[in-house]
Amino acid sequence: MDKEIKGRAKGGIARKESLTPERRKEISAQATAAKKQLAMLPKATHGSSDHPLTIGAVEIPCYVLDDGTRVLSQRGLQTGIGMSISGGSKVGEQRLVSFFASLLEKSRENIELSARIEVVIERLLNPILFRQPIAGTAFGYEATILADVCDVILASRQNGYLQKQQLHIAQQCEILVRGFARVGIIALIDEATGYQKDRAKDDLAQILAAFVAKELQPYLKTFPADYYEQLFRLYELPYPPIGNKSWRPGFFGHITNEVVYSRLAPDLLPELKKAASKAERKTKLHRWLTQDIGHPKLKEHLSSIVSILKLSRTPKDFIQNVNIVHPRYGDTKQMDFDSKEGQQP
């Protein structure tokens, strides 16, 4: 037996059945347009109300949008400076604007301050509507507005433009100003949201994308003869090699990986090895460097390495000099340059 439909569901069905086909089509089109408009809004990739920006005892929900913009929630900005948050987002926006509009009227003769207040009002009138990480939308402001808001409120107090019942707002701004600097606000938000970890990963990915080619590059003579000649000299080996002039000790490969590829860019060596391992046949690592960035950087680096080789008297001198001029990226351990094990790059 079918369950009887009651309450709102019954009313909804009745309303739907009373609509004309044209009206149903219009409502459907409006819903589709609303979904499309929602999808076009910037989305917060990092942040939540559970991990606010904390400055002293003040907590302000903060987010990082998909274009990298750091924002403070509108309500968070209100409470952060000590204003009440009753009412919806529009009421909150109006309350903020009304407060600064009153300061603007009082500061008309102070041209410099009134100009700064007008800038703040303009920014407050244009909040950013964005999609929250999980669900729903929210209004926010670009993070550095907090510094500007505090600046003009404190300047207004100094000039006697605040009413007695508004002085607590200036006191709150004073606390905030002590807790952050204009540049530091970005770092504070990145830490609160966890964005700094992904930002570092993205930066590394961009570096590797610039250096590592997606396909094998044509062979180009890259390593100068001086490079190998100086290595032979350093390890007291006859140069050119007797019998086979193209022969090189296998441990030269370890040296090249350590002093060249490991110091061109962070994590470059494993990325080059990964690219080379996918090839059908073994190839030189430098053939996986991009021609516009990777190869020029390699040649520039090799020129410096050759100069260091010429100035070094022993393998130990060499590695010490390389460490001074080209510090190692990451946590790569220092290798033993007296070892003659390994393979040719």
315 closest CA partner among 344, 343, 341, 339: 339
Q: What angle do CA 213, 218, 220 make, to 5 degrees?
A: 105
Residue listed under structure tokens 């060249």 = 260
Report the distance separating Cα 322 and Cα 302, nearest Å: 11
In this prediction, residue 33 carries a pLDDT of: 64
The single residue listed with the structure tokens 């939308």 is 137
pLDDT confidence of residue 166:
92
Are 180 and 53 a contacting pair, CB within 8 Å? no
Nearest to 173 by CA among 192, 143, 147, 145: 147
Contact 254, 273 (CB under 8 A): no
The reported pLDDT for the residue numbered 98 is 92
- Output the six-digit token pair for 197: 């970890």
User: Do the Cβ atoms of 223 and 252 come closer than 8 Å?
Assistant: no
Supply the angle between the helices 89-106 and 111-124 in degrees, to the nearest 10. Answer: 170
Smallest CA-to-CA distance from 155 within 112, 102, 95, 123 is with: 112
The predicted model scores a pTM of 0.49
Transcribe 150-202 into DSSP letters: HHHHHHHHHTT-S-GGGHHHHHHHHHHHHH--TTHHHHHHHHHHTHHHHHHHH
What's the rounded Cα separation, in Å, for the pair 236 and 251? 14
Whole-angstrom Cα distance, residue 207 to residue 339? 32
The predicted pLDDT at position 277 comes to: 72
Q: What are phi and psi of 133, to 5 degrees?
A: -55, -40
At residue 201, the pLDDT reads: 62
pLDDT at 335: 47
In the prediction, which pLDDT does 345 show?
Answer: 43
**Segments of the chain with pLDDT less than 70:** 1-19, 26-34, 38, 86-93, 180-184, 196, 199-221, 276, 278-283, 288, 329-345
pLDDT in tens, 238-297: 888 877 777 888 888 889 888 888 887 777 777 777 776 766 556 677 776 777 777 788
Closest by CA to 45, choosing from 184, 171, 212, 195, is 195
Question: In terms of DSSP bridges, do strands 53-55 and 58-60 run parallel, antiparallel, or are they unpaired?
Answer: antiparallel
